[in-house]
Amino acid sequence: MKKIILSVLISTSVFAQKQVKEISMESLWKTYDFAGSYFSAPTSMNNGEHFTQLQYNDNYGEIVKYEYKTFKELGVILKGAELVPTAPNRKAVPITIEGYLFSPDEKQLLIWNGTEQIYRHSTRESYYIIDIATKKITELSASGKQSYARFSPDGSKVSFVRENNLFFKDLISGTETQISFDGKNNSIINGAVDWVYEEEFTMAIGYEWSADGSRLAYYRFDETAVKEFNFQTYGELYPNDNKYKYPKAGEDNSDVTLMVYDVKAKKSINVLNVKGVSEYIPRFKWTTNSNVLSVQRMNRLQNKLELMLADFTKTGADMVNTIYTETSDTYIEINDDLYFLENGKQFIWCSEKEGWMHYYLMDMNGKQVNQITKGEWEVTELYGVDEKKGLIYFQAAAINATEREVYSIKLDGSNMKMLSTKKGQSSADFSAGYKYYILSQSDANTPTMVTLHTADGKKIKVLDDNKELVEKLGGYALGKKEFMQIKTEGDVMLNAWMIKPANFDANKKYPVFFTIYGGPGNNTVDNTWEGINYMWHQLLAQKGYIVVSVDNRGTGQRGKKFKHCTYGQLGKNEVIDQIEAAKYFGNLPYVDKNRIGVFGWSYGGYMSSLCITKGADYFKMAIAVAPVTTWRYYDSIYTERYMGLPQANSSGYDDNSPINHVSKLKGKYLLIHGTADDNVHFQNAVDMVTALVKANKKFDSFYYPNKNHGIGGGNTRLHLYNMMTDYIIANL
């Protein structure tokens, strides 16, 4: 206790002796002075002793090889500056390497550039195949940009999607084979996914090779029945009308067929059909047996999940069988932690069926062998399995919901060992064979440090300590982000953090600025470095605000009961908790309870809109960026997962939609939206304005032409944060 008090006194003394260096908005969003260094993601090579990185020591990029055990640079494998295509109708200029994949034998590289973003995860680009020894360049296809190109397991082919059809190119003969032929924009998709699967099942690539390369499993989406949404983009004489299929809550989804193409037989077969009005196929994955494909089928309410196996040594009704079924009285969320062991007899399954997200070892008949992890804490990511040692490597929030650690554990659930070394949040990237891992660690007040370790946890070397950023931060008087818990009147403990001004005076009264998200399973109270957002909060603290964030009920890593209690009535418990938090901070002796404001983006914008209406007696000001204002306007998969169908839960959809509470507005309200938001449509803002005008309420609004849900590009973020900061200063 004395040590803590002493450090506070020293900090205050130093602050008093030196002039405060002001954080400028330009340093945040124009010159990005606080972005810190970025350790490029390593790609482990097959031997597990070496890895590569894409680095930009010039304008074109180069792929550099390193040794794990020493982090010694072993040379440059490929330089973009040396790659000059000679194909007809191509400019003879070097290729900028934007990404790369090795062939299975590591003799060839697939590189790409000219990336065009489609939606959140989907892109199209130009791909090239490079012979590493000769540096020979072969354009993958001359018929237009492609998406999701991948080597086949034997390296003899490269598959890709173009214009909603699936293809592969034979690298020996140079011939291009078209697998599907009915692809059509806003109608049929092969080898990729539709908008709502991409956004809410977090995927884009919609095909996968079997282990021996003999088969390709792929999605076929029929969007015919899905209603079309459109938005205009401006800048030309006539605006461009953008149309795409977007199923809103309760509306028709795509019908989906899982197809499998047999390379030798040169034909596709239909494995499984689901009607969009009733079911989904959110995942499929080949087992280690190339004759057996796993399929996950889910009902529309997302409270029943089946794991199915399609065995291609069988035909007809015997081909596809359900081996495991999981149900919930609320919902089940899809994850990517399904792992099939090389022994062909077992797999790892991830589920919160017992109340907390954990790993289970299952046999191929769907019977549980044993529970691997257990306790009142949750696993968060599976890194892989060292089957020789019988160990799995994973990330978890085992200490509390604000932390993340890296662990190993035996498949029988024994000998769980923490591999991360610092308090805060950690993530790992393992080498092939799991001999080494690269560990990234940070906490709320400390930038990310990257270190290299052997699999038993021994540190080999510090790879990146963000020294330059740490030294730069030392030139500013920053308030420490402090973590705490708040107990509500309903006897619920909520995690929270607070940043006080560096020159905090307990005898003064300070305004409080809430930054919230609050959506299902998503936390803002994390003990992790948040970079530029953290520095914006420090800028506000420099201007005399206490900045806080509170994780309400429904947020993650605190068990199923805490997360699922918002089911069927999104916004109700969450806003109650934020109001309780406002009461708590308002009762602190150094807080002006009449000057509490709130900001949120997306679900957070939905929350801030409810706080300034339903919580009008406790919040003076709110900023809502790209908010959902009625759940009837949001997409089917997300909304129905947490709310059920609107036809069966009308009150749940309407009781906590901001457009239905505008009459309660008292304080200052700033509504911001991008006009080209494909996710939370600008329609939400338009109807909120309509409701506010009808209620004769004063408010402020701003729209960003042609900007999507992220509202970025050029000077946009600088303009946005300047506007929001000025609004806070003027109204809070």
* Tens digit of each residue's pLDDT (9 = 90 or more) over 549-605: 999 999 999 999 999 999 999 999 999 999 999 999 999 999 999 999 999 999 999
Structure tokens at 140: 């993958």
Mean pLDDT over all residues of the chain? Answer: 95
User: Strand locations in 263-345, DSSP E?
Assistant: 267-274, 279-286, 292-299, 304-311, 320-327, 339-340
How large is the C-alpha radius of gyration of the chain? 27
pLDDT per position as a tens digit, 522-539? 999 999 999 999 999 999
With 0-12 / 13-18 / 19 or more C-beta atoms within 10 angstroms meaning exposed / middle / buried, residue 218 is buried
Distance CA 146, CA 176 (A): 13
Q: Determine the pLDDT at residue 19.
A: 54
Q: pLDDT-based confidence at 4, cuts 50/70/90?
A: very low
Q: What domains are defined for the chain?
A: 2-33+480-731 (3.40.50.1820)
Specify the 3-state DSSP secondary structure of 485: strand
What confidence category does residue 11 fall into, taking pLDDT thresholds of 50, 70 and 90?
A: very low
**682-705 average pLDDT score:** 98
pLDDT higher than 90, residue 355: yes
Judge whether residue 681 has pLDDT over 80: yes
pLDDT band, very low/low/confident/very high, at 540 (cuts 50, 70, 90) = very high
Which pLDDT value is given to residue 38?
85
Taking only the tens place, the pLDDT of each residue in 452-472 is: 999 999 999 999 999 999 999
pLDDT band at 171 (very low <50, low <70, confident <90, very high): very high
Indicate whether 1 pLDDT > 70: no
Q: Give the integer Cα–Cα distance in Å for 585 and 593.
A: 7
Q: Which residue has the tokens 């983009």?
A: 233
pLDDT higher than 80, residue 287: yes
Report whether pLDDT(14) > 50: no
Distance in angstroms (rounded) separating the CA atoms of residues 705 and 494? 38
CB contact set of 396 (below 8 Å; sequence gap of 6+): 373, 377, 378, 379, 380, 404, 405, 407
Return phi, psi of residue 624, to 5°.
-120, 115
Catalytic residues: 602, 677, 709
**Tokens at residue 459, please?**
């540190």
| pLDDT tens digits, 231-268 | 999 999 999 999 999 999 999 999 999 999 999 999 99
How far apart CA 389 and CA 406 sit, in angstroms, is 17
Q: What is the pLDDT of residue 184?
A: 98
DSSP string, 35-95: -----PPPEE-TTSSEEEEEE-SSSS-EEEEEETTT--EEEEEEEGGG-----TT----PP
Q: How far apart are CA 384 and CA 399, in angstroms?
A: 21
Predicted confidence at residue 87, as pLDDT, reads 63
**Coil vs helix vs strand at 688:** helix
- Mean pLDDT over 421-433 rounds to 96
CB distance 283 to 308 below 8 Å: no
Supply the pLDDT for residue 88: 63
Q: Give 632-669 pLDDT, tens digit per residue.
A: 999 999 999 999 999 999 999 999 999 999 999 999 99
Looking at the predicted structure, is the pLDDT value of residue 12 above 90? Answer: no
User: Which pLDDT score is estimated for 85?
Assistant: 79
State the DSSP H helix or E strand holding residue 637, giving kind and residue range, or none if neither: helix 636-643
Q: What percent of the chain has pLDDT over 90?
A: 94
